[in-house]
């Protein structure tokens, strides 16, 4: 699409940066909250036991907690947003398949279906396409 008015093009770019910021911070907060829940409610050892109960190595629970916590913080700060978003995709695909796959599609199902982690996976891909957005710590020149 072409614009006769350069100000309209700048406005659209500004809106995209704001959209990327909102998505980035929202997902970052949710990832940190998920990690915090695993640390304080389920405990890391309890999360490892759950992972083992569904056929995954228990050590993967600790890696998942770290990915959610540090990935969430990186998203909030806007540090290498594209790479962090893509790195978190396997976490959400694993949650959809291993953690919620047998519960059905809808997240309202007992123990939650795979609907929510599948949507979150798509949101991570969208974030990777949008990039850092406004107020990111990553130097734009380095991208």
Q: Residue 28: helix, strand or coil by DSSP?
A: helix
Model confidence over 115-134: pLDDT tens digits?
Answer: 999 999 999 999 999 999 99
Model confidence over 29-51: pLDDT tens digits?
Answer: 999 999 999 999 999 999 999 99
pLDDT at residue 81, rounded to an integer? 97
Residue 5 belongs to what H/E stretch? Answer: none
Q: Which phi and psi angles does 78 have, rounded to 5°?
A: 75, 45
Q: How many CA atoms lie within 13 A of 122 on its CB side?
A: 5
Model confidence over 67-111: pLDDT tens digits?
Answer: 999 999 999 999 999 999 999 999 999 999 999 888 888 878 888
Cβ atoms within 10 Å of 19's Cβ, excluding its own: 15
Closest to 29 measured CA to CA, from 138, 141, 142, 120: 120
Reported pTM: 0.86
Q: Which DSSP letter does residue 96 get? A: I
């Amino acid at each position: 699409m072409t614009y006769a008015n350069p100000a309209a093009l700048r406005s659209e770019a500004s809106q995209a940066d704001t959209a990327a910021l909102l998505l980035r911070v929202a997902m970052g907060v949710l990832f940190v909250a998920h990690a915090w829940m695993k640390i304080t409610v389920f405990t890391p050892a309890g999360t490892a036991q759950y992972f083992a109960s569904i056929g995954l190595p228990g050590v993967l629970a600790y890696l998942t907690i770290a990915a959610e916590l540090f990935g969430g913080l990186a998203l909030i700060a806007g540090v290498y947003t594209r790479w962090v978003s893509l790195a978190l995709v396997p976490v959400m695909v694993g949650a959809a398949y291993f953690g919620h796959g047998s519960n059905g599609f809808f997240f309202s199902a007992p123990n939650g279906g795979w609907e929510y982690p599948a949507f979150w996976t798509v949101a991570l891909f969208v974030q990777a396409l949008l990039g850092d957005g406004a107020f990111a710590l990553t130097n734009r020149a380095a991208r």
